[in-house]
Amino acid sequence: MIKRLLLLAALWAAGAAQALTSEQALAIAAGESDTRVQALGKALAAADDKTAAFIQALSDDAVKVAGDKVFIVKDDKAFDPVSGAPATLPEGAEDVVNNNRMRGELDAALASLQLFSKDAKVRAASIKALQGSTDAARLPLIEKAWAAEADAVLKDQLGLVRASILLGSDDRAKRLEAAELLGKQGKAETKTLLSESLRGEQDPEVKAALQASLRSIEASLVWTDRLGAAFSGISLGSILLLVALGLAITYGLMGVINMAHGELMMIGAYATYVVQGLFQKFLPGAFDWYLVAAVPVAFAASALMGAALERSVIRFLYGRPLETLLATWGISLMLQQLVRTIFGAQNVGVENPSWMSGGVVLFGSLQLPWNRIIILGFAFAVLLGMGFLIGRTRLGLFVRGVTQNRPIASCMGVNTARIDTYAFALGSGIAGLAGCALSQVGNVGPDLGQGYIVDSFMVVVLGGVGQLAGTVYAAMGLGVLNKFLEGWTGAVLAKIAVLVFIIIFIQKRPQGIFAMKGRSAEA
């Protein structure tokens, strides 16, 4: 900072124009808040590097006043804010005290000055800090930055800030211009700003312009809300699809009512948490890629647990659905307690990699989070992989053969017991992948799977037991239907309405969307 001030001093001594004067510096640093704010606004209208350095020093509590002299103090050295030259700090110089209002004004002033930065990210942060500002003193600087802004997105955002200030102008033409500009934004915060201005507007023509802009924004927001609900529904559907895909094998093809399916998801989520911890400890530089490593680990952990369950318990209960339900329910309780013993009863946090943070902004106010978009793509990648495995590989052929006609498959030399283990491990591994994905949209805890087990069974039954295509249609349909109903009735009533719909649908079409096939159909 000292080098920067000395460099500026050399430039100013060479004849550069001086925008900041000693009188302005004293007026900004001392006196009543109203007077200081007014002086700050005047200084911003013709601000240069000296003004910016002085405002930054005020914000950093690095300014002292002695009589009518103002000094910037850094590292026990004093400088004149106007010339930038080193100065002798008189005894008895007092610190400049900034109250909360003044600090807010200084922060806003610094944000205004950053509008001219060469870094687009700095300009974007500056515009965000200025949103909602109504101080007309900043208008000349904002208009100058708005005219010079080359980035179309940032120019639109800065135009919104400019229009917000123009709404408070005494000039009728400027208020009309602001109403027209704000009507093109289509944002919820713009609607609020227009509504507030409409209540205090007296001019009939301006009032009519504000009302027209409000109607335009409301029409735009309706479609934005609908698109947002559709995306939320598809996002929820992709999660339900991931959760139900594994169950489509263990229940749909094998006829096992696996109440521990949610706990197998939980194992996948905790495997992701463990991989995250290992990367944080041993590979902090590659932390952004921990999730890539966690995917196969989550699949393997849940698949191995599923294979162990099938070999130790499930294989003795084929053909007895009630017994499998009771046995797997007991296993689910045991797995929950095991996790509580190892990791504790409290939820654990799993961080998103940087490439899953943020989102895509559409239509000005609709944001699609990257983690949801990536999970949507991941769900369909898992679906394609599972469809290829079941329909195009030797293992898939054996699984289909055993589930459709076990005696004939056995007579043809297929080791049915081994195929049962492979199939159950596959379904369990996909549940682990679902847990890995779910760890990116919420906390991981021992009860993670309990919130999805009922929904996943509903998806499999509604889509048609044993049918992958039906699972996809049911998951997406239920996700979108649930989100649209939430907007009208609330979350609780939406859940009830979806459940009633499924009951009525199953009453009319017991086989689901597609006809049931597999071992259950043969029975």
80-98 pLDDT, tens per residue? Answer: 888 888 888 888 788 888 8
pLDDT mean across residues, the chain: 82
Torsions phi, psi for 412 (to 5 deg):
-90, 10
Calculated CA dihedral for residues 42, 48, 50, 51, nearest 10 degrees: 30
Structure tokens at 522: 């043969």
Burial class of 116 by CB neighbour count within 10 A (0 to 12, 13 to 18, 19+): middle
CATH number, span 223-522:
1.10.3470
Highest mean pLDDT among 57-61, 205-209, 420-424: 420-424
Residue 320, SS3 per DSSP: coil
Q: Name the least confident of 201-210, 258-267, 342-351.
A: 201-210
Could you count the other beta carbons within 10 Å of the beta carbon of residue 267? 26
More confident residue, 443 or 309: 309
261-270 pLDDT, tens per residue? Answer: 999 999 999 9
Q: Which amino acid is at 66?
A: A
- How far, in Å, are 87, 191, 213, 224, 388 from residue 188 at the CA level? 52, 5, 12, 10, 45
Alpha-carbon gap, residue 225 to 215, rounded angstroms: 15
Residue 344, SS3 per DSSP: coil
451-502 pLDDT, tens per residue? Answer: 788 888 888 888 876 677 788 888 888 888 888 888 787 777 888 888 888 8
Task: Tell me the Cα Rg of the chain.
Answer: 32
Question: pLDDT tier at 10 (50, 70, 90 boundaries)?
Answer: very low
pLDDT of residue 197: 78
pLDDT mean over 295-317:
93
Torsions phi, psi for 72 (to 5 deg):
-95, 125
pLDDT of residue 466: 61
SS in 3 state form for 47-72?
CCHHHHHHHHHHHCCCEEEECCEEEE
